[in-house]
Amino acid sequence: MDPVTKAIWFVEAHSREMLSLEEIADACKVSPFHLTRAFAASTGLSLMRYLRARRLSEAALQLARGNLEILPLALEAGYGSHEAFTRAFVEQFALTPEQVRSQGHTNNLSLVREIAMESAPVSDLAPPRFETLKPMVLAGLVDRHNCQQPPTGISDQWQRFAPYFGTIPGQTGYAAYGACYNFDRDGNFDYMCSVEISGSPDLPKGMTTLNVPEHKYAVFTHRGHVAGIRSTISGIYSTWFPESGHKPAEAPMLERYGAEFNPRTGMGAIELWIPIQS
């Protein structure tokens, strides 16, 4: 996978952290010079300006939704003070954070959205294995997303979930699960960042549970960088299903992140559990 796609994923997946060009380049396995030139050539943007604009754009959206605390937003965006954040915000949007919060919308702001990553279907999928998943209960954070939008919200959702991993009451094992379910005709779906639990523990505020019933699954393995996971899923539905004769079923699709996956770098193996009709 090209370093530009890796850089976009790294920026979105670590948007709440202080990031340097050197750190991003190291994660992409190229030099800072190489990454700077490649990113500019591919997108027409400076990588660090893109990072800055993305953080300010996300802050603007939160302000428009009524977020009353500006200093926490400033710190989250990588600014050490309210004043430094305001200066950068005005330079980006020609409005102060207070003005955006007061008007309650971003219609007059030129927000910088996430650059869409490559999602052409993978054509050389390895054959899956078939398993019947026993009933399980997942616990985690749920948000509503759309298939046609860049996965910015999902990256942020995992960042919000990460501090809970390993401390959730009743957690079973050390794998994390991304569960996709409740799809509608417009491509909207629920996505849960979760772990498996046992019993009926008291969960942290804002968390919910999902009962996954016993079902038959085709289990594929996505290898390489997580930024390419959409390409693998696209290949499963556009190529494997038509050629295999199997049909998808209405049950949760699961992404299983086990010991072979490194959440910091986004590299490693991810199991894709695709529900199929018996």
Residue 92 maps to which CATH number?
1.10.10.60
Rounded to whole angstroms, the Cα distance separating 88 from 172 reads 44
Quote the pLDDT of residue 194. Answer: 98
The CA distance from 87 to 196, in Å, is 44
Query: Looking at the structure, do residues 185 and 98 belong to the same domain, yes or no?
Result: no
The pLDDT assigned to 148 comes to: 63
| pTM, entire model | 0.72
**93 plus 137 within the same structural domain:** no
pLDDT at 224: 87
Q: Where are the alpha helices (DSSP H) in 65-139?
A: 70-76, 82-93, 97-103
**Whether residue 83 is found in the same domain as residue 150:** no
Range of the domain at 203: 129-275
- Domains: count for the chain: 2
Query: 95 and 163 share a domain?
Result: no
pLDDT at 97: 94
In a domain, 185, yes or no: yes
pLDDT score at 234: 83
- Tell whether 136 and 269 lie within a shared domain: yes
* CA–CA distance, 179 with 137 (Å, rounded to integer): 11
Supply the DSSP symbol for 169: T
Ranges of residues in the chain whose predicted pLDDT is under 70: 1, 117-121, 148-152
> Given this model, what pLDDT does residue 80 score?
87
138 shares a domain with 42 = no
Residue 188 neighbours by CB distance under 10 Å: 14
Instruction: Tell me the CA distances in angstroms from 112 to 21, 50, 69, 102, 168, one per residue in order.
Output: 19, 8, 22, 21, 35
